Amino acid sequence: MLRYRILLAFLSAALAFAAAAQGQTAGSAPLPPLARFEVTVKPQPETTALLDRLLREAGTTDSIDAEDDERLLRRLRADTLEVLSTEGYFTPTLSIGTDETGAARYLVQLSLGPRAVVTEVQIEFRGDLAARPEQQAQFRGDWDLPVGTAFRDSAWSTAKTRLLNRVRSREFAAARVAESTALIDADTATARLRIEIDSGPAFTLGQIEIKGLTRFDRRLVEGFNPLTPGEPYDADRLLEFQRRLQRSPYFGTVIVDVDPTRAIGTELPVLVTLREAQTRRLSFSLGASTDVGLRGEAAYRQALLFDRPYALQSGVSLDRTRQAGFADVHLPPRPGNIQDSVGVLFEHTDSEGVKTNRWAVGAQRTFKQDLAAISYDHQFALNFQREAREVEGAPDQDVDNDTLSATYAWTRRAVDSLTMPTRGTLLTLSGTAGLGRSSVTNFLNTLWARAYGRFVVYYPLSPRDQLILRTEGGYIGVDDVRVVPNEFLFRTGGTGTVRGYSFQSLGAIEGQAVTGSKELAVFSAEYVRWLWDDWGGAVFIDAGDAGSNVFSQPLALGYGLGVRYRTIAGPLAVDLAWGDRTGSLRLHFSVAIAF
């Protein structure tokens, strides 16, 4: 008997499936969607997106008869009311009828009603923070859902999380939300918010504890450490420590954190968990730009040299204008974020009729400071180089130079993002003094000095509009520019300088070549409009030149339009620029791929 019942059940299911299939295929077209919304007042984009998702989800279940449609519509109605309540609409009305247009089987007419508005916000604090009224006022001032703002459940949750993270980021690592309440009055469409934060004690930092070292000594990690035992806990300072370790060639993954449950009184041990990187690494990269054409690089890195944590970085790079080989040895960092290195370089260049062959050896010290939202880079370099320079069509400009130079460079970064800045400034200043021997003059006349500066301003006009202002200037104090190595002379033109002109095509004219000069002046203004999240457009104007007296004639103008695309490494720019001096259009772009 059981066997016959199973057989009958199977036959019944098969007949039902066949009937449904026949009903769907007998007609000339598939069933239209279950429903569509008709909203009396167009909602905000985020609300529209949620309603559209409800319709898509409702349409994923096939209906066979009117009872199925009724069940689906009941669920759609309940889901719609729930979603609208999370968006702040607590008194919506909706009616369901047949869609006479045929675009869907049913039409849902929806009236949202008033959206709840925040009318009161109470933010209270317990713990050590309760005795600090100035910090409390700052946290209250930074609250993300103030009075007068439309209430949304997601915005309420986000505001609470951000407030807690702000409290936790400095001193109060064990802070927690003790209580939070959102009182909604649907009749008046108002929301009264209350949140209480228990900050716990104010913590200081203790000694560092390191896990994961096998090949290297803990002194290597301590050399990257900017923290001082006893200083107030600051999450940004821990992140700075972590970034320093991650940027080094010694470690693959790094986590720097604290655990309030392991505190000794109010002192937090700093927990450093890391994985050492492979000591040897070979990498390749390919790129292309309108300045130098195709370019490629092969690099070899070794993080352990002579059984010491000396990092060797060497490689070769090739493009249309430059071919070079280099080898640098970076010594372990010293306390105070000081990094020393020594290196050697062999290079051949050929650009705008000027050819150089040179080799150089040098030593460099870098010192970095991170103060709040501003970072400073200091760089001291001492180099000796031998250069042979040939100028096409001007044999009197051919020269051999042996030069000892000392350079100091200072950079100040005050931007909201290193790779995608939208607000802030970037300032670079450098000075170089050189002394040496030249084939075109005697020893006493080969002393020279160079000054250079670059300043960039990023100014947001709106969340999607940005103004970028840039200027560069340089001067070399010397009687005869031939005694100055080519890398220190000034030329301009190309991507990132004066668009509308080829790479390094603006400078002094000697024979059939454009040579480096004593003076440099560049000015640029660019307006960027982000049309979508990742795509934008730009309009710009550049002006600049290089020469022995750069302002003796009008600066070369370049202006045009561009496309911008946001990438992880920064915005990709493609620009079409008109060069006023040459009377021609030029395309500018640059892209690189590492593997």
The pLDDT assigned to 470 comes to: 97
DSSP element (H, E) containing 594 = strand 584-594
Phi and psi for 132 in degrees, rounded to 5? -125, 85
pTM above 0.85, yes or no: no
The pLDDT assigned to 29 comes to: 55
Which regions of the chain carry the CATH code 3.10.20.310?
31-111, 117-198, 204-276
**pLDDT per position as a tens digit, 272-330:** 999 998 888 899 999 888 998 899 999 999 988 888 889 999 999 999 999 999 999 99
**Residue % of the chain over a pLDDT of 90:** 61
The pLDDT assigned to 65 comes to: 64
Alpha carbon 436 to its chain centroid, in Å, reads 42
- Which fold is adopted by the domain 325-594? Porin (2.40.160)
Closest CA relative to residue 342, chosen from 316, 315, 314, 301? 314
Q: Which residue type occupies 242?
A: Q
**pLDDT per position as a tens digit, 426-466:** 999 999 999 988 888 765 568 999 999 999 999 999 989 99
**Residue 438: half-sphere exposure toward Cβ, Cα within 13 Å:** 21
The pLDDT assigned to 325 comes to: 97
What is the CATH superfamily name and number for domain 117-198?
Answer: membrane protein fhac (3.10.20.310)
Task: Provide the total of helices (H) and of strands (E) in the chain, helices listed first.
Answer: 7, 27
Instruction: State the residue for tokens 């064990």.
Output: 174
Bridge partners (DSSP) of residue 424 are 415, 458
Q: Mean per-residue pLDDT for 239-254?
A: 89
The pLDDT assigned to 421 comes to: 87
Distance CA 36, CA 43 (A): 15
Of 90-104, 288-302, 351-365, 463-477, minimum mean pLDDT range: 90-104
- Count of Cβ atoms closer than 10 Å to residue 136 Cβ: 18
Instruction: Write the DSSP symbol of residue 394.
Output: -
The pLDDT assigned to 52 comes to: 84
Distance CA 68, CA 24 (A): 15
Domain spanning 31-111: which CATH class is it, in words? alpha beta
Distance CA 390, CA 362 (A): 24
* Residue 69 confidence class, pLDDT cut points 50, 70, 90: confident
**pLDDT per position as a tens digit, 570-585:** 788 999 999 999 999 9
Which regions of the chain carry the CATH code 2.40.160.50?
325-594
* Residue 346 confidence class, pLDDT cut points 50, 70, 90: very high
- Which fold is adopted by the domain 204-276? Ubiquitin-like (UB roll) (3.10.20)
Instruction: Write the DSSP symbol of residue 395.
Output: G
Decide: residue 245, CB within 10 A, 0-12 exposed, 13-18 middle, 19+ buried. buried
